[in-house]
Amino acid sequence: MTEEIIIAGFGGQGILSMGKILAYSGIMQEQEVSWMPSYGPEMRGGTANVTVIISDEPISSPIINKFDSAILLNQQSVDKFEKSVKPGGMLFYDGNGISRHPEREDISVYRIDAAEEASKMESSRIFNMIILGGFLKIKPLVKFDNVVKGLAESLPGRHHSLIPLNEKAIRRGMEIVKAVHEV
């Protein structure tokens, strides 16, 4: 099994850390992983994307241009990466701020309205965990226990008190993800 994933959106949405948690979760279950960011000079507000590969075998190239799953969290990302999903693959997106929705017929499309949900839960910082929950519900690549371990591994010690809130957000994401179109 090899799963090639791209996560893309605005800097500050927690794109890189979501990828990191996913990668660490893979390590927790003894899989090979790679985490390859595309970085810009901005710290916040610019575009950010990260490629995460989780595999049972050694990873050949960590740099890829076709993906099994794409998690696209702003309009630019949908525009840029919708076409990069392999036929039969999956696209996840947040409807917030999207005017041109994904259109491809040959892939499965799921919507996770995480921004809205995060504001209901009164914490914009768990946005990315709601997305991660929605993704893992459809694509159970890593076990929930291992995600929690991955969280602990990738968060600095001073933030460990936030783990229960993050867990709650992941579970909420699993509840709210809905299929738009399935192949």
Q: How far is the CB of 76 from other proteins (least distance, A)?
A: 18
Given candidates 37, 144, 168, 176, which one binds other proteins under the rule CB under 8 A? 37
35 touches other proteins by CB under 8 A: yes
- Residue 54: C-alpha distances to residues 23, 60, 127, 138, 175 (Å): 7, 12, 22, 16, 24
Spell out the residues 6+ positions from residue 41 whose beta carbon is closer than 8 angstroms to its own.
none
Nearest to 15 by CA among 79, 95, 73: 73
Given candidates 64, 152, 165, 180, which one binds other proteins under the rule CB under 8 A? 64
Stretch that binds other proteins, among 26-34, 88-96, 106-114, 173-181 (CB under 8 A): 26-34
- Residue 171: C-alpha distances to residues 81, 163, 164, 165 (Å): 27, 12, 11, 10
132 close to 110: Cβ distance less than 8 angstroms: no
Q: How far is the CB of 101 from other proteins (least distance, A)?
A: 27
User: How far apart are alpha carbons 152 and 163 in whole angstroms?
Assistant: 7
127 touches other proteins by CB under 8 A: no
Q: How far is the CB of 68 from other proteins (least distance, A)?
A: 14
Given candidates 1, 41, 100, 105, which one binds other proteins under the rule CB under 8 A? 41
**Residues within the interface to other proteins (CB under 8 A):** 20, 23, 27, 32-37, 39-41, 59-65
